[in-house]
Amino acid sequence: MGIIAWVVLGALAGGIASALMGDREGCLLSIVVGIVGAFVGGFLFSLIGKAPVTGLNLWSLFVALVGSMVCIVILRALRRR
């Protein structure tokens, strides 16, 4: 998957995850959280035997969304310390 596709997927996943979790950090952080979330989600889904991020499709968006939500939870926990 190309870099532009990762940015688009990250922007979508990060924006949706931020909206669902009530986190309003800004567009750039949402993109970064979404891209990192795609990697985290891909890793987590591969651990349970499911397909990781496979391209720019709904399954990959779902995987990146789950990973982004995990990243937001971790960021919130780190900020509270």
Dump pLDDT digits (tens) for 13-37.
988 998 898 877 777 888 888 888 8
**What is the predicted pLDDT for the residue at 4?**
83
Range of the domain at 12: 3-80
Q: What total number of domains does the chain contain?
A: 1
**What is the predicted pLDDT for the residue at 1?**
65
**What is the predicted pLDDT for the residue at 81?**
74
**Who's near 40: CB < 8 A, 6+ residues apart?**
67, 68, 70, 71
Question: What's the farthest any 2 CA atoms get from each other in the chain?
Answer: 37
Contact 31, 68 (CB under 8 A): no
Dump pLDDT digits (tens) for 24-78.
777 788 888 888 888 888 889 989 988 888 888 898 899 999 999 999 999 889 9
pTM value is 0.86
